[in-house]
Chains A and B, each alone.
Chain A
Amino acid sequence: MPELALQVERYSAVIVIGDVAIRVNTRDSSFLDLLQQRYSGFVSAESGAEFEFDVELVEPTFADPDAEVNVSHHSGRWLMERADFRAEWNPAERSGVIHQKANPYSMDAVLRIVHTLVLAKQGGFLLHSASAIRNGKAFLFAGVSGAGKTTISGLAPGDVTLLTDEISYLRKHDEGYVAYGTPFTGELARLGENTSAPVAALYLLTKGPENRIEPVAVTDAARGLLGNVLFFAEDPKLVHRVFQTACDFVHRVPVYRLTFMPDARVWEMIQ
């Protein structure tokens, strides 16, 4: 008599952002479809991945969409929690588990946190900024909500490749920094292109009555940059690393204040 065995199907998608591949495993084919749609352009056909997460889908419960995310480190594991998800990640074992509802927002949050932690080790960070490539160079447009990230992204002419309208992915490379496309969207709700380019300039955005570019002193540049860096964990070592990377960044990348009015002519200044 053949041995009885229960075989549970497992579906996987490898999501590659900033050249870092993360495999997500689920037992729910419709959730896999949702992920493949959400991260379209960032899903790789390759099976290899640097990290792997098993997703356990849980029943929907009430969740405060504005709840703060909590990230902590215990015994070699990172614990990430928000009202709508709970995830554990063991970097040494390169694996983790995510308990979440079947929506893309929780996965988005986990991916942002994991990439933040990975980037900190690699001399990089995620930045609240739009980013775009023109003439082979990447330009960053940083600012808080309402500063104009979505506006300037929407005004980009046809020769501009949008990397993101919300969260830029930055990593040190040789003597400078490289910006990568991300699927993390803002109000434009348009995925960035999955490509990269060396960063030529960071613009701190301000809306105003005219288009104007002004240089920024290095301390103001650092303040402007750090005010837009994504920090999730209150881990001193991590904060120290990202802080030092940000200080290095403003020494290597020109930082300007870009005052602009919502008009496509602003892109005449971005070359």
Chain B
Amino acid sequence: MSKKVYVARSPRIAARMLGEEMLVMSAQGSTLFTLNPTATVLWQAADGATPLDEIVESRICSEFEVKPEEAMRDAEALAADLAKHGILLISEEPIPSKSPVQEQPQP
């Protein structure tokens, strides 16, 4: 039986839906990413508690009419790509939500 994989949004990013696209900015190098609809669904569902296969089954397959095996392969590749850019965290254990970054002193 394959291990569960959990995904979570990185706390070191800022994101906002503009029009029909999700813009994500990483604090690292202030790099800007645009997520396509599939990536947006995956990214929004990445709560650190729901396994990737459940996200694929409940969110991606139902929304994009794609076969589960194919969707899972694509989702794993997508998650790895997002993780490579530091905007998604991947783990074989549930990922606890990070506490917010401390506010800087008010100038």
Contacts and interface: CB of A to CB of B under 8 A. Distances in A.
Interface size class of A (residues with CB under 8 A): 20 to 34
B96 interface: no
A42 to B, nearest CB: 19
Given A231-B30, A250-B18, A236 B106 contact: no
A91 B18 contact: no
A271 interface: no
B23 interface: yes
Given A247-B16, A250-B18, A227 B105 contact: no
Contacts of B66: none
A243 B14 contact: yes
Interface stretch (A59-67, A104-112, A166-174, A217-225): A217-225
B105 to A, nearest CB: 4
Contact of B27 (A50, A90, A121, A236): A236
Contacts of B102: 237
A5 interface: no
A76 interface: yes
Contacts of A234: 27-30
Contact of B30 (A92, A121, A219, A239): A239
Interface residues of B, number: 24
A239 B23 CA distance: 13
B1 interface: no
Interface of A: 50-51, 73, 76, 90-92, 94, 117-118, 121, 217-219, 222-223, 226-227, 229, 231, 234-240, 243-244, 247, 250
23 contacts: A76-B105, A91-B104, A92-B105, A92-B106, A121-B107, A219-B18, A219-B21, A223-B23, A223-B32, A223-B34, A226-B25, A229-B30, A234-B29, A235-B27, A235-B104, A236-B11, A236-B14, A239-B30, A240-B14, A243-B14, A243-B25, A244-B16, A247-B16
